[in-house]
Every structure is written in structure tokens, then in C-alpha cells.
Structure 1
Amino acid sequence: MDSSKQENALPQDQELELKLPHLLSTKTVRELYTQIVNEWDFLRKSACQTAAGRALWKHVIDDPLAEVLAGETYLRNLHEKIKKDRHNNARETSGVILAVRTLWFDSKIEAALDSFGGAAQVVLLGAGMDTRAYRLSCLKECDVFEVDFPEVLQVKAALLQVALESTENLRLMAKSLTRVATDIRENDWLEKLQLSGFVPEKNTIWVLEGIIYYLSHSQAMQVLKVVAEKCTLTHTVLLADFMNKASTTLSNSTFHFYSDWPDQLLPSLGFSHVKLSQIGDADAHFGLMHDPLNLFNKLRNLPRSVETHPDDGTPCCRLYLVQASGSPDQNNFLENHANVI
């Protein structure tokens, strides 16, 4: 088998017709998804698209709740794209970027918790249909906070209740889970988070997965600054994915915030350590990026300053996976060092 075919190899059942779980046909779930289809905007619906990616890449992501949270429409849409990609022997199978992104965040959360000694707060900003509190055993000593729109959290809670009542061996893995109904585009989201039990002085991992580019520049910077300020109080880790400017042109009406150099932006806000990865790098590979000629590997081999691909003139659309951290000890060291100089 050549590398491109190996990369696109999915479990055998993915080649057949999509097998939908019985729960999706129940009255309660159908009514909830009617609400999603009729009332949610693109940003809210993107949560279901992400869940569909986890569900259909289940050979690498263990998420038994993903199918119910994705819903029939989004499962069918992504399944059709995957079948088309397989038929065309595409070098990038639909959903692979969601799979790699999910696995990268999972691995970095676990590594950060190891560095903390296991106990911490984990704040999922724009949590959507995230299920980490139910599927990551590394969260067993963690207080998890899911922050999102009230209607998203309400529908999600209802879907999870149906799934948990109908499926054995599914339970909360985290020490605790608190849902915080608020819009991170507003200025009072941190206050609402603290009223829900978040303690600013406790070690915290902040997760911004698949969300920050939907915000305006001022909204995104406000969120990043709030998180960066916590570096002066406690050990703080930020995990986020950033689009570069070219990527936002994929949908002028949907994507707004971008950063071509987030590894320079975040230190300017107060983070002392920043590591940037691209899809296909050693820590953002997960055995899914074998083909050296796929889009992501071709981009990795170009300097980040290159805006259009020399082979075909297409924009270099990049997604950066970024881990940033800081702590009071590091900040004191930097201040003292600056004073000496």
C-alpha cells in the first residue's frame, strides 16, 4: 500500500453505508435537533460538525458520545465527504484536521496535568459539544468548566442525559463538571466563571479549541489578555488553535480573528513560554500524516512568511496549534532579570 492510500485508510465499516445509532431516531433527540437546525447560527452549529469529526474518526478517537452530539445531518454530511475523498484517493481525507486537532489538545492537556501533578482547573472556552470531562481519565483530579452560550449548554445537557441513560459504562471522568452559560464575546464572562466556582489562584489549563477565529479582533484579544493576566497569579497553560490571515479568507463572513505569528503575540501579552506546531509536525501527526505531498506537509516545508504557494499560487492557509504557559515565579524572574540589565 502506498503512503497516500495508507493515510486515507479508515475502518472497513466506513466504506459501507453510515450506521446511525438508535438514539438519533428517538423523539427527544429529534426534537432537540430540530431546535439546532432551526434556531442555531453557524457558530453554534460548528459544535455539531466538530462532534461529527470525532464520531467518524473513531478509529483514532475514543468518544462514544460523539454520534449523539453530532446528530444525523452532520454525520451524513461528513460521511459523504469521506466517501467522496476515498473514491478520489484524496491526499487529505475530510475530518483529518479535526482528528489531529482533537488528539493534539488531548495530549497537551494530559502533559500539562502531569506537570501540575494531576490536579488543576480546566476551562473550556466555547466548549460546544466537547466531551473531555467524560472521556479523559487524566481529568480525574480536575474541576472542569464548560463555558458557552446558554442554549448550547442546555441542548448538550439534554442530549448527554439521553445518551448516559441509554448506554452502560459511560460516566463523568472529571472530579467535577460545571457548565457556565455566558458569551465569551462579552466583558463579564470571567465574572460569571468565578461565580460558578472558578478559583483564579488555582493551577489552570485554558482550552480554546476551534473558537478564537470566530471572534472579532477586539473580542479575541480581550479573551487572550484575561487568560494571560492569570500568569501573575498561578501556573497557567493556554492551549489554542490560530488561523493565519490567509485561512480567514476561506469564509469572509465566518472567520475574523487571525494571527500569522501567535508565538510572538502571546509573549507580548505575558506568557513566558510558547510552542507552536503545525498539522503534521512531530507532536501533531498521530500517524495520520504519512503522505509527504499532502497539503499540510507541503505547507510545513515552506517558510511561514510565504503567503502563496509557489507551485500553484494558492493562499497558504495554515492552522497553528499553540501551547503557551506562564507562572508568578517565571514572571518574577523576568522582572528581576530586566532590573539587573
Structure 2
Amino acid sequence: MNNIMSNHENGIPEDNKPWPELKLPELLLNSGTVRSLHAAIESEWDLLRRSACQTAAGRALWKQAINDPLAELFAGETHLKSIYEKIKKDLLNNAREISGVILAIRTLWFDSKLEAALSSFDGGGAQVVLLGAGMDARSYRLSCLKQSSVFEVDFPEVLDAKATILEAAANSKDKNHHPILTAKSLSRVAADLTEDNWLEKLQISGFEPKKSAVWILEGILYYLSHSHAMKVLKIIAENCNLTDTVLLADFMNKQATTLSSSTFHFYCDWPDQLLPSLGFFDVKLSQIGDPDAHFGLLQDPLNLFNKLRNLPRSIQTHPDDGTPCGRLYLLQASGSPNQTSS
């Protein structure tokens, strides 16, 4: 097995240890309610909505690095088996990057930056808003949220499905999957980010514009059109004029969106220049594999992400093989009414 799997201290199996076998939580996934719900998801939801379950599956299968016991329930059997087969194939072929590693690192980056942001606010207790929350379970797994009011914004059908799964888990005999809220409070806000009333709905649900807030946009911006993505970013930037604000978001460059031209729309090659132009300050950009976006999961120096990091960001195609230089940028930005442009 290659070096990517050798760092046991970071939750990755040692070379002589196989990838954990996929063991489905049969008691819950086979319950009539959860099974019929996931069947409906597969047949009725579009790609954007189903991506919530796919993200959960990635977190569930990278359990060596991410402790998210609810993820496999949110993912459903179809997505779990699909990604698991890809992981098995990658291991068999000694791939330099194992399927789902980018999602695992992205999750851990958002976790670590969220915790740091919350601890930076005086007295703690900042609000946390997850836009396009999907099947995110941070409110049930992160202790740093114990003083925070959390708001999950997503389509009503996604939030309804999530609530149904959580209720089934709470009533199950399977205590390993009982949901225990770690956040101070959790409000689910049924709203469409492409419509103009999502901020109003957020405020009706209890969000206080003048109270410090951390905004999480994980895996959502590139699904939006350019105009909708920019409008969302501008609304958050305007919040900087009212209170201390932290934005955590990931951006694709143009080459990355070509991987699925029918799915991904918004891109930004230089988000570290875009965000200051909107009113954010102290903008920090990371790429997968950087010291703060590594987590011991990318040991092979020749893996794709390390090769990309060694190339200037302006290069569009890889000089070795002519493949597109698709990049995922992780951005941390902040703002405050007391800051002025430098």
C-alpha cells in the first residue's frame, strides 16, 4: 500500500492494516422509514440535493479521520456502497489519492477553522450559519459549538429528510447512532439560496444580524450560478458592517468546474482577491495539501494535490500530461464594523 495510508497517528491505517470493512448499521438502514426515505431520495432528488448524501457517505467512510456516527445514516446504503467500491479499487491499484480524501480534508479544515474562529470571539457564543447545510452533522459532533446557536439553511425537502432520519435514530435500539446535540441550539431554516428571501427567513428563525457570526459555505458555491453566488457572498459581506463576521468557504477554479460542466457553474480563479473587493479582511487561502489542509492524509509527495501546489496558480493545464489543473481553494475571511480598507 502506498504512503498516503501510512500515517496511523492521523487516523489512517498503517501499511499492514486493511481499510476497514464496510459494516452497514442494518437496524436503522433497514427500518421501513429510513429505507423508503432513501429510496425516494434516489428517485426524486436532483444531483444537487443528492450531493448531501454523497458528502455524508464520504465522511462515514473516512471514519479513521472524522468522527461522525450519524453520517452513514444520512448517506444511505447506495452512496455508502458506491464510494466504498471506489476506495477498494483505489487501494487495489495503489492509487496516490484514495477516493474521498479531498472531502475528508475539506471537512477537517472546516472543523478546525470553525473551532478557531469561535475561540477567537470574546466570550464565545457566536452564531454559526451553515448555508446549504445538507446532511451536515456538526451540531451533533463538535463540542466547540456548546455556546453557539446553529442555523442550518437548505431546501425544505432536505431538512425534512434529515429530521426524519434523526427521529428514527433517536427512537432506535441502536445506541451507537443516537443523536446527541452538542450545539447550544439548532434551528433549521427551509430556504432556497437562489431566492431573495433566505436572509429574511434566517432572521425570522432567530438569527441576530448584530451578533457575531461564523458563516460556513462548504461545497455549495460552485453549484450556484455566478450571479447567485455573488449575491450570497455580498449579503454575508454586508454583515461585516454590523458585527464581527467570519466566512469559511471553498471555491473551485475554472478548470475544476469543467469536470462536470452540467453540475458546477460558479468558479473563481482568485478568490483571495475577490473577497477583499467585497469588503472582507484578513483573507487567507489554502489548497488541499497545504500545512493547514493536510491532516496527515496526503503522504505521497507525488499525489495530484501536491503536484498542483507546486505549480503557479495561473497555469491552466498540467505541463506533464496536459490535464486541466482543477483546484479547490479553501478560504477564511473576516470582517468587522471597526475595520477599514487598507
Same-fold call, TM cutoff 0.5: yes
1:132 counterpart = 2:138? yes
Alignment of 1:20 onto 2:24: yes
In the alignment, the residues of structure 1 paired with residue 2 and residue 99 of structure 2 have an alpha-carbon distance, to the nearest angstrom, of 19
The residue correspondences of 1:221-236 to structure 2 (distance < 5 A) are: 221-236=230-245
- Which residue pairs with 1:156 in the alignment? 162
Aligned partners of 2:33 and 2:339: how far apart in 1? Answer: 51
Alignment of 1:176-325 (within 5 A): 176-325=185-334
Contact 2:139–2:182 (8 Å) recurs in 1: yes
Q: Secondary structure at the match of 2:260?
A: coil
Summarize deviations over 1:236-256 as a string: whole Å, max 9, x none.
000000000000100110000
TM-fit CA distance, 1:141 = 0.3
Contact 1:7 1:291 in 2 (8 A): no
Contact 2:58/2:100 (8 A) holds in 1: yes
1:3 — aligned with what?
3
Residue 19 of structure 1 aligns to which amino acid in structure 2? K
- 8 Å CA contact 1:280–1:296 kept in 2: the answer is yes
Deviations 1:320-340 (A, max 9, x none): 000010101113xx3xx7xxx
Q: Which residue of 2 aligns with 1:48?
A: 53
Aligned to 2:120: 115
Shift of 1:13: 6.4
Classify 1:5/1:51 alpha carbon distance in 2 versus 1 (closer, same or farther; 3 Å): closer
Matched, 1:67 2:72: yes
2:201 counterpart letter in structure 1: K
Q: 1:305 to 1:202 in 2, by over 3 A?
A: same
Q: Distance in 1 between matches of 2:18 and 2:146?
A: 33
Unaligned runs of 5+ in 1: none
In proportion to residue count, which structure has more helix?
Answer: 1
Deviation of 1:6 after TM superposition, in Å, equals: 2.3
Question: C-alpha distance in 2, partners of 1:159/1:4?
Answer: 34
Instruction: Please give the root-mean-square deviation of Cα atoms over the aligned residues, in Å.
Output: 1.5
State the secondary structure of the residue aligned to 1:232. coil
Contact 1:212 1:257 in 2 (8 A): yes
Q: Please state whether the residue corresponding to 2:321 is helix, strand or coil.
A: coil
Deviations 1:183-220 (A, max 9, x none): 01111110111111110000000000001000000000
Amino acid at match of 1:178: S
Provide the residue aligned with 1:165 in structure 2.
171
Aligned length: 332
In 2: Cα distance, 1:2 partner to 1:54 partner: 21
Q: 1:146 to 1:126 in 2, by over 3 A?
A: same
Q: Is the 8 A contact 2:166 2:179 kept in 1?
A: no
Amino acid at match of 2:225: S
Superposed structure 1 runs of 4+ greater than 6 Å apart: none
Aligned equivalents of 1:13, 1:170: Cα separation in 2: 29
Map 1:26-105 → 2, pairs under 5 A: 26-105=31-110
* CA deviation after TM superposition for structure 1 residue 272, in Å: 1.4
Structure 1 residue 164: Cα displacement: 2.5
Contact 2:4 2:297 survives alignment (8 Å): no
Contact 1:243 1:259 in 2 (8 A): yes
Please state how far the C-alpha of 1:170 moved relative to its aligned partner: 3.6
Question: SS of the counterpart of 1:267?
Answer: helix
